[in-house]
């Protein structure tokens, strides 16, 4: 039987060329157990100084039981130094002072959260590459297939298969034309069964959309 390339159950899925386990690269949903964080299979993060607590490293302001969530899709790639700033990091801004007096008095904390208003989820799609040191701002919605450049500061809506760079982050191009993006989104290869994804690896690497569609068509007729 052919050995599988992909194993979502492994916390550390990568070995270095010398055979050593790369403990700085983790499947995030195998090392994070947080009620406000949902992460799809095969999404990984890497770090040159891997933490004991990956949730605290990546999403430092999202506390268990917060009013908002972080949702990340499958097959995302998150580089060293990325920070995801969620809405719980905000301070109320309608008053005279933004000083968060209430966080020092648990009896007033609920009213403090209410002052912030409806806190937004932060949502990252499938197969998103987030480059070294990028910052994702509260309530960002990043489409599938997007690339976030190193050091970018990104908020708002990022279209599917967009390339974003800079501070503030802006779309500098789309990876494919609109017709190809529509075909890719219709395929949704990241949700395929694992054996079909492994069969599709050469086509994914070669951007061979026709071959991907042929794989999907064969699966429908099997």
Q: What residues are annotated to the active site? A: 91
Instruction: Respond yes or no on whether the N-terminal peptide bond of residue 139 is cis (omega within 30° of 0).
Output: no
- Give the three-class secondary structure for 179: helix
CA distance 127 to 130: 10
CA distance 50 to 81: 10
CB contact set of 50 (below 8 Å; sequence gap of 6+): 23, 24, 26
In terms of Cα–Cα distance, which of 47, 65, 72 is closest to 57?
47
Strand spans (E) along 92-212: 122-124, 129-130, 135-136, 141-142, 147-148, 153-154, 157-158, 162-165, 170-174
Task: Please give the C-alpha separations between residue 187 and each of 53, 173, 215, in angstroms, as whole numbers.
Answer: 35, 22, 10
């Amino acid at each position: 039987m052919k050995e599988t390339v992909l194993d979502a159950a492994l916390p550390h899925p990568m070995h270095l060329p010398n055979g050593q386990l790369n403990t700085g690269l983790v499947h995030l949903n195998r090392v994070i157990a947080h009620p406000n964080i949902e992460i799809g299979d095969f999404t990984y993060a890497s770090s040159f100084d891997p933490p004991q607590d990956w949730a605290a490293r990546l999403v430092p302001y999202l506390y268990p039981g917060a009013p908002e969530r972080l949702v990340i899709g499958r097959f995302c790639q998150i580089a060293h130094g990325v920070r995801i700033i969620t809405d719980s990091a905000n301070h109320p801004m309608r008053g005279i002072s933004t000083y968060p007096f209430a966080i020092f008095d648990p009896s007033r904390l609920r009213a403090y959260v209410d002052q912030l208003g409806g806190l937004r989820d932060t949502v990252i799609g499938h197969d998103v590459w987030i480059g070294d040191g990028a910052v994702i701002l509260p309530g960002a919605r990043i489409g599938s297939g997007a690339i976030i450049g190193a050091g970018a500061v990104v908020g708002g809506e990022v279209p599917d298969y967009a390339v974003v760079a800079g501070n503030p982050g802006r779309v500098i191009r789309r990876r494919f034309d609109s017709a190809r993006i529509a075909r890719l989104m219709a395929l949704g290869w990241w949700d395929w069964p694992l054996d079909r994804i492994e069969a599709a690896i050469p086509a994914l690497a070669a951007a061979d959309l026709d071959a991907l569609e042929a794989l999907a068509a064969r699966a429908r007729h099997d």
